């Protein structure tokens, strides 16, 4: 293989290969990654059966930061998206009204949602009492 003649002489769009051309035409063998992943999972299962809870307890005591890091990685990333998607029943106008209410509450970001709602409720009641 002659590197000078087998490789493109110039880069196209910052890449060595033109669109549709592969640097590895043979590619990865079909199923190679799947076999590795499956074997890794099987090895982890066997290791967990031998050492699981004991090692977990040891890591929690000796390396609490790593223990919490592992726990954090186990929480699905979709949780945030799911919570945000739950507010989809409100249209943009309602969301704008809620944002305006939040913006008008002193230190709203430092308060719990319950405290913000109680503040709004008390303000509405005070305003209604003045109107009567």
Residue 14 pLDDT class (50, 70, 90 cuts): low
Per-residue pLDDT of 43-87, as tens digits, reads: 989 998 999 889 989 998 999 899 888 888 887 776 555 555 555
- pLDDT for the residue 51: 92
For the chain, the average pLDDT equals 77
Residues 98-126: tens digit of each pLDDT: 788 878 887 888 888 888 888 888 888 88
Secondary structure in 3-state letters for the chain:
CCHHHHCCCCCECCECCCCCCCCCCCCCCCCHHHHHHHHHHHHHHHHHHHHHHHHHHHHHHHCHHHHHHHHHHHCCCHHHHHHHHHHHHCCHHHHHHHHHHHHHCCCHHHCCHHHHHHHHHHHHHHHHHHHC
Encode pLDDT of 29-44 as tens digits. Answer: 777 777 888 888 899 8
Q: Please tell me the pTM assigned to this model.
A: 0.33
């Amino acid at each position: 293989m002659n590197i000078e003649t087998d490789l493109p002489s110039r880069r196209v769009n910052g890449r060595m290969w033109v669109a549709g051309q592969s640097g590895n035409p043979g590619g990865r063998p079909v199923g190679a990654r799947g076999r590795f992943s499956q074997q890794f999972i099987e090895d982890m299962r066997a290791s967990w059966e031998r050492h699981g809870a004991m090692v977990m307890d040891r890591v929690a005591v000796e390396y609490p930061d790593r223990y919490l890091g592992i726990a954090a990685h186990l929480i699905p990333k979709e949780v945030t998206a799911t919570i945000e998607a739950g507010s989809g029943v409100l249209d943009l106008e309602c969301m704008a009204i809620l944002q305006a209410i939040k913006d008008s509450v002193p230190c709203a970001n430092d308060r719990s949602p319950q405290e913000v709602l109680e503040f709004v409720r008390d303000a509405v009641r005070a305003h209604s009492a003045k109107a009567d």
